[in-house]
Structure 1
């Protein structure tokens, strides 16, 4: 698996989160973010069941430009 690093939160300083990568083989997005608080997780589970192998993460709005870039990369043939 080869991951292409797209970028990290510009306000995270020396800390590495949140961040986004693109899997160059599958074109999946790989996102590192904050573990959502209990209230957020509960609200999400009200809408969609969360299996044990999944997590609810929160990504700040300032990462949206990097997510757009990652989506553009993922859509390349």
Structure 2
């Protein structure tokens, strides 16, 4: 796996912060975020279970530009892999 780094939360001290990558091998997006609180998880559970292999995370809105860049790169890489 080769992760392409797109950035960290711009309003952080650089440690333990939301981060965005794209896996160059399969074009998957990889996101690190804050764990959702119980209230948020409970609301998410109203539409279905959260499997043990998945997690609900929060990404701050200020990261939208970084995530947009990662989405564009993932889309481009995905088309190259076809």
TMscore range, shorter length:
over 0.9
Do residues 12 (structure 1) and 12 (structure 2) align? yes
- After TM superposition, list the pairs within 5 Å mapping 1:1-77 onto structure 2: 1-76=1-76, 77=80
* Cα drift, residue 14 of structure 1: 2.7
Deviation sequence 1:10-42 (CA, Å, 0-9, x none): 001232410000000110100000000000001
Paired residues in the alignment total 77
> What is the RMSD computed on CA atoms of the aligned residues?
0.9
Tell me which stretches of 4 or more aligned residues in structure 1 moved more than 2 Å: none
Larger helix fraction of residues: 2
| Structure 1 spans left out of the alignment, 5+ residues | none
Q: For the Cα contact (< 8 Å) 1:8–1:16, is it kept in 2?
A: no
Asked whether the equivalents of residues 8 and 14 of structure 2 are also in contact (C-alpha less than 8 Å), the reply is no
Determine the C-alpha separation between the residues in 2 that align with 1:74 and 1:34: 22
